[in-house]
Amino acid sequence: QKEVEQNSGPLSVPEGAIASLNCTYSDRGSQSFFWYRQYSGKSPELIMSIYSNGDKEDGRFTAQLNKASQYVSLLIRDSQPSDSATYLCAVLPGLTGGGNKLTFGTGTQLKVEL
Amino acid sequence: DAGVTQSPTHLIKTRGQQVTLRCSPKSGHDTVSWYQQALGQGPQFIFQYYEEEERQRGNFPDRFSGHQFPNYSSELNVNALLLGDSALYLCASSLFRGGNYNSPLHFGNGTRLTVT
């Protein structure tokens, strides 16, 4: 079982729709969760962080965390063509894991179509 | 506010050669982590430096080594290059001082290494 799993996609949504990106993780002790956006040929850019169960909203982005189910998701409302990118889910281990070594999923490619 | 800077942006090397990549962390950050990202994959953790020492290491051979300087900048060295080392090498910085385990990583633009 991979430590962080994501559907590679591509996930295609029409402009203006809600895009839903999902991620599961295997380390039950994980404490911190991040979503990064990566445009082709570019480096990952942090867009959301979430540390406790529930929802966290920032503009058009909402991160959702369910530690019991070991599941984290990212919703993008009113999707725009500029949102087309690969979205990487990243997980930090629990304190016993030591330091802030991020484990990434393989990413989900999102395509927002006109 | 200067972000994470990496050099060079692109590099072409031959199998068996050695390469050094450089990274300057974001202003105010004290920890540097290095990641390797192969095409179509997520970044893979190589190692992390804090207070000039390697604190954590991923599943990479000893051919991969690094260094952190007193000004927090860092180098990644790869010896005896293999074709499979071709990848985007990402440097990320964070603030760890005081045990800030939740500090998000901020990435540089990466160095694209091609081994022929």
Span A71-114, pLDDT tens digits: 999 999 999 999 999 999 999 876 554 556 889 999 999 999 98
CA distance linking residue A44 with residue A111, whole number of Å? 17
Confidence of residue B56 (pLDDT cuts 50, 70, 90): confident
CA distance linking residue B64 with residue A41, whole number of Å? 23
Contact A106 B42 (CB under 8 A): yes
pLDDT of res. B8: 97
Q: Which two tokens stand for residue B20?
A: 């050094």
Q: Is B31 helix (H, G, I), strand (E, B) or coil?
A: strand
Residue A24 pLDDT greater than 90, yes or no: yes
pLDDT of res. A31: 85
CA distance B33 to chain A (A): 8
Chain B contacts in chain A segment 49-68 (CB below 8 A): 49, 51
User: Does A48 reach chain B within 8 Å, measured CB to CB?
Assistant: no
Q: What is the pLDDT of residues B91-110, one digit of tens each?
A: 999 887 666 666 788 999 99
Residues of A in contact with B33 (CB under 8 A): 100-102
Q: Which residue of A has its CA nearest to B31?
A: A100
pLDDT of res. A92: 87
